[in-house]
Chains A and B, each alone.
Chain A
Amino acid sequence: MSVPVGHYQYDQIDRDFLDARIAEFSEQVARRIDGTLTEDEFKPLRLMNGLYLQLHAYMLRIAIPYGTIDSKQMRMFAYIARRYDRDYGHFTTRQNIQFNWIKLEETPDILRDLARVDMHAIQTSGNCIRNVTSDEFAGAAADELVDPRIHAEILRQWSTLHPEFTFLPRKFKIAISGSPNDRVAARFHDIGILARPGDDGRTVFRIFVGGGLGRTPIIGQEIFDAVPEERLLATLEAIVRVYNAHGRRDNIYKARIKILVQALGIDAYREAVEAELAQMDLEHYRLTPDMVDAIQARFAVPTLSAPGNPAQELANKRRENPEFDLWVRSNTHPHRDAGHIIAVVSLKPAGGIPGDATSAQMDRLADLADEYSFGELRITHLQNIVLGHVRQDRLYDLWTSLKEVDLASANIGLIGDIVACPGLDYCALANARSIPIAQKLGARFGDASLQAEIGALRINISGCINACGHHHAGHIGLLGVDKRGEEFFQITLGGRAENGASIGTILGPALPEDDTVDAIARLVDRYLGMREKGETFLDTLDRLGDAPFKEAAYETV
């Protein structure tokens, strides 16, 4: 495989650049160790290369641009897990991977190993433009208008060591989707971009600014409806320049672009951006069709051939095997090609740690990607893994192989598909441990047919107000709070990140861990008792409001 399916192929120029970045970082580590750099000076420098200091050790966050990797890269993660960590890695809601037990002096070696497969940790943290996220079904989904990964790669390149935007007031996150069904939470990002085809055959972009979660959750607002492709980079430069010049730097909780957009109002923000554009040399910043086409040419497109009647074969297998049928129902998505299907591998086994994968699982997933999906894998913003292009008549074989390595949980989009932040097990800012309660909930609702019966329902858990687990956007959200030194959880209902994004509302007083699990079990029971035919949890909640759920949750307390 010379050109990988689904992501940009590096050439020698890109590799030389990466080598230079590693040499720079190695020197920074050396200057920290010999004391030339103070910890205050080193911190932003290490962060912009993905290196955090957590509660017990360093954590290294590696970029997976637009969530897509190939099997070689996945095997490298397995190698790093074995060689430098405790044999596992953690896939994040921003489609990256983190290793939690890293030694500072070993990071340059890890970065060199990563570079051998064209990977890096550039801008996975720090107050700069972070790794760009995209639709996990990009280039495969039946409902897609444009494959957003070409422009996601352009944004990755444009933002890499950007001379002006590497010391912003705060971190800056961009997501891009090419489907009318928002799978990137575009309106919860500093900049959210929806791509669609324009009349001239080039892509146009609808752009939102000022969304975000964290302690002040805000839904992004539309700044431009139709930015032509050749103006994309100029427009982004202008948006970020206004933020860099005027964003607050006196208080980190007020430093995100969302606060500036709220303070100015979206119309004034737009005017400020237009004033920048009026002074800019637009020709200088023009993204030409040649540039876009050259980058597109570095992406291989899978040759989708599925002779015979694959759909019929799949239907037969589903009839024969109800367990397989259940998995297909929750863990697949329609492909643009009639003979293919998108398969989602759950990293949420009942009672497991959401998003964790062992080196053996990573190696196995890499093999399965080679066998079934052109060597391509994607990480989802719900911390699962996608094989994007599976022939329908081979799906059963794939599922059988997944079962062998305990990766066949049938719970995508269901109550077991829990998102949890690292919480107090790793994070110095936490009030509560997010992982144990996630494990308890996962175990409580582990049964696959029970999950199917409950239907679409997302639980999101954050260990503190910083909202890394996106609790505001969960259908059921849990927020860890500290009550006189004890870990409690506040429940919110009704958040959603998809189309019609909204923020959950608080149900009532916070509860201790086990009581929270029981309360959720009761409110789910109440929903099952009250729902009308065909209703999801959110439908019932929208129809009845949260009073009956509140009653159920606090029944015995």
Chain B
Amino acid sequence: MRLFELGERIAKVHESLVTLPELAENTDVRAVLLDIADDPAALKPYLNRLELVVLRFPIFRDGRVFTQARELREYLRFSGEIRAEGHVLPDQAAFLKRCGVDSVVLPDGSDPALWERQLSRFPVAYQRSVLPSRPVGAGLRVEEGT
């Protein structure tokens, strides 16, 4: 498994990863794998102990992952690591980062340089995201990052 970090947070390997239904019984587990159809709000009771939430793309076109990540960061204020895995493209790197995802499990044969390039592709954004930002010029545009 090759991990790619989208931002500052160092990706951490966890020995055990359980699904949402398994989470209640495994009180010592700190990492969970959400199904694409799971509602992140179901994680509420466990947020304090969780260090990693993994979101899984069944196919890169399934954009629910982006909403799950945002709900975790913005509504639930989850401050641990969010990771994406499954069928994901480098072309989605900045979108993931801007929705609060910290790391990606690179699919086989990925070129990390391409992921790197996608992250620094756009100098500005036209809408707010979960990242800290400063306005640039006038209007909606922002520059993101710390």
Are B139 and A294 neighbours in the complex by a CB distance under 8 Å?
Answer: yes
Task: Known A157-B139, A294-B138; judge A164-B123 contact (CB<8 A).
Answer: no
Are A20 and B74 neighbours in the complex by a CB distance under 8 Å?
Answer: no
Contacts of B75 in A (CB 8 A): 279-280
* A332 contacts the other chain (CB 8 A): no
Contacts of A24 in B (CB 8 A): 91, 118, 121
Q: Which of A23, A161, A165 has the most CB of B within 10 A?
A: A161
Task: Known A45-B91, A164-B67; judge A233-B123 contact (CB<8 A).
Answer: no
- Select which of A127, A159, A162, A295 is within 8 A of B139 by beta carbon: A295
Are A28 and B99 neighbours in the complex by a CB distance under 8 Å?
Answer: no
CB nearest neighbor in B for A293: B138
Contacts of B99 in A (CB 8 A): 163-164
> In the complex, what's the smallest C-beta–C-beta distance from B102 to chain A, in angstroms?
14
> In the complex, what's the smallest C-beta–C-beta distance from B95 to chain A, in angstroms?
4
* Complex-state Cα separation, A17 to B140, whole angstroms: 13
* A168 contacts the other chain (CB 8 A): yes
> In the complex, what's the smallest C-beta–C-beta distance from B28 to chain A, in angstroms?
30
> In the complex, what's the smallest C-beta–C-beta distance from A289 to chain B, in angstroms?
12
Are A285 and B124 neighbours in the complex by a CB distance under 8 Å?
Answer: no
Are B66 and A163 neighbours in the complex by a CB distance under 8 Å?
Answer: yes
- Select which of B61, B98, B111 is within 8 A of A163 by beta carbon: B98
Contacts of B67 in A (CB 8 A): 164, 241, 244-245
Q: Which of A127, A166, A245, A298 has the most CB of B within 10 A?
A: A245
> In the complex, what's the smallest C-beta–C-beta distance from B7 to chain A, in angstroms?
13
The digit string for B38-68, where 1 denotes a CB below 8 A from any CB of A, is 0000000000000000000000111110111
Are A157 and B126 neighbours in the complex by a CB distance under 8 Å?
Answer: yes
Are A284 and B128 neighbours in the complex by a CB distance under 8 Å?
Answer: yes
Are B127 and A244 neighbours in the complex by a CB distance under 8 Å?
Answer: no
Contacts of A399 in B (CB 8 A): none
* A428 contacts the other chain (CB 8 A): no
- Select which of B61, B70, B123, B140 is within 8 A of A127 by beta carbon: B61
Are A291 and B139 neighbours in the complex by a CB distance under 8 Å?
Answer: yes
* Complex-state Cα separation, A521 to B5, whole angstroms: 67
Are A161 and B140 neighbours in the complex by a CB distance under 8 Å?
Answer: no
* B125 contacts the other chain (CB 8 A): yes
Task: Known A158-B140, A280-B74, A281-B74; judge A167-B125 contact (CB<8 A).
Answer: no
The digit string for A391-413, where 1 denotes a CB below 8 A from any CB of B, is 00000000000000000000000
Interface size class of A (residues with CB under 8 A): 35 or more
* A63 contacts the other chain (CB 8 A): no
* A297 contacts the other chain (CB 8 A): yes
* Complex-state Cα separation, A161 to B129, whole angstroms: 12
> In the complex, what's the smallest C-beta–C-beta distance from B118 to chain A, in angstroms?
8
> In the complex, what's the smallest C-beta–C-beta distance from B115 to chain A, in angstroms?
13
Are A158 and B91 neighbours in the complex by a CB distance under 8 Å?
Answer: no
Task: Known A161-B122, A163-B98; judge A44-B127 contact (CB<8 A).
Answer: no
* Complex-state Cα separation, A20 to B118, whole angstroms: 10
Are B140 and A154 neighbours in the complex by a CB distance under 8 Å?
Answer: yes
Residues 33-84 of A at the B interface (beta carbon under 8 Å) = 36, 41, 44-45
Contacts of A159 in B (CB 8 A): 127
Task: Known A41-B60, A163-B94, A291-B139; judge A13-B124 contact (CB<8 A).
Answer: yes
Task: Known A164-B99, A291-B140; judge A20-B63 contact (CB<8 A).
Answer: no
Contacts of A28 in B (CB 8 A): 91
CB nearest neighbor in B for A246: B64
Residues 208-264 of A at the B interface (beta carbon under 8 Å) = 233, 241, 244-245, 249
* A199 contacts the other chain (CB 8 A): no
* B137 contacts the other chain (CB 8 A): yes
Query: How many residue-residue contacts, CB under 8 A, span A and B?
Result: 105
Are B62 and A167 neighbours in the complex by a CB distance under 8 Å?
Answer: yes
Are A166 and B95 neighbours in the complex by a CB distance under 8 Å?
Answer: yes
* Complex-state Cα separation, A281 to B75, whole angstroms: 9
Contacts of B62 in A (CB 8 A): 167, 249
CB nearest neighbor in A for B70: A164
CB nearest neighbor in A for B138: A294
> In the complex, what's the smallest C-beta–C-beta distance from B106 to chain A, in angstroms?
14
* B136 contacts the other chain (CB 8 A): yes
Are A244 and B138 neighbours in the complex by a CB distance under 8 Å?
Answer: no
* A16 contacts the other chain (CB 8 A): yes
Are A167 and B66 neighbours in the complex by a CB distance under 8 Å?
Answer: yes
Contacts of B138 in A (CB 8 A): 291, 294-295, 297
* Complex-state Cα separation, A295 to B125, whole angstroms: 15
> In the complex, what's the smallest C-beta–C-beta distance from A224 to chain B, in angstroms?
20
Contacts of B89 in A (CB 8 A): 41, 45
CB nearest neighbor in B for A153: B139
* A466 contacts the other chain (CB 8 A): no
Are A164 and B126 neighbours in the complex by a CB distance under 8 Å?
Answer: no
Task: Known A41-B60, A163-B95, A244-B66; judge A17-B139 contact (CB<8 A).
Answer: no
CB nearest neighbor in A for B127: A158
Contacts of B123 in A (CB 8 A): 13, 16-17, 20
Contacts of A13 in B (CB 8 A): 123-124, 136-137, 141
* A106 contacts the other chain (CB 8 A): no
Residues 510-553 of A at the B interface (beta carbon under 8 Å) = none
* Complex-state Cα separation, A162 to B75, whole angstroms: 19
The digit string for A329-369, where 1 denotes a CB below 8 A from any CB of B, is 00000000000000000000000000000000000000000
Other 18 A-B pairs with CB < 8 A, given A41-B60, A159-B127, A161-B95: A13-B136, A154-B140, A157-B126, A157-B127, A157-B139, A157-B141, A158-B140, A160-B126, A163-B95, A164-B99, A165-B63, A233-B127, A241-B67, A244-B63, A249-B64, A284-B128, A291-B139, A294-B139
- Residues of A with Cβ closer than 8 Å to B? 11, 13, 16-17, 20-21, 23-24, 28, 36, 41, 44-45, 127, 154, 157-169, 233, 241, 244-245, 249, 279-281, 284-285, 291, 294-295, 297-298
Selected A-B contacts with CB under 8 Å, 11 pairs: A16-B123, A28-B91, A44-B60, A157-B126, A159-B127, A244-B63, A244-B66, A245-B64, A245-B67, A279-B74, A294-B138
The 9 A-B pairs at the shortest CB distance, nearest first, are namely A167-B63, A294-B138, A163-B98, A157-B126, A163-B95, A164-B66, A279-B75, A160-B126, A294-B139
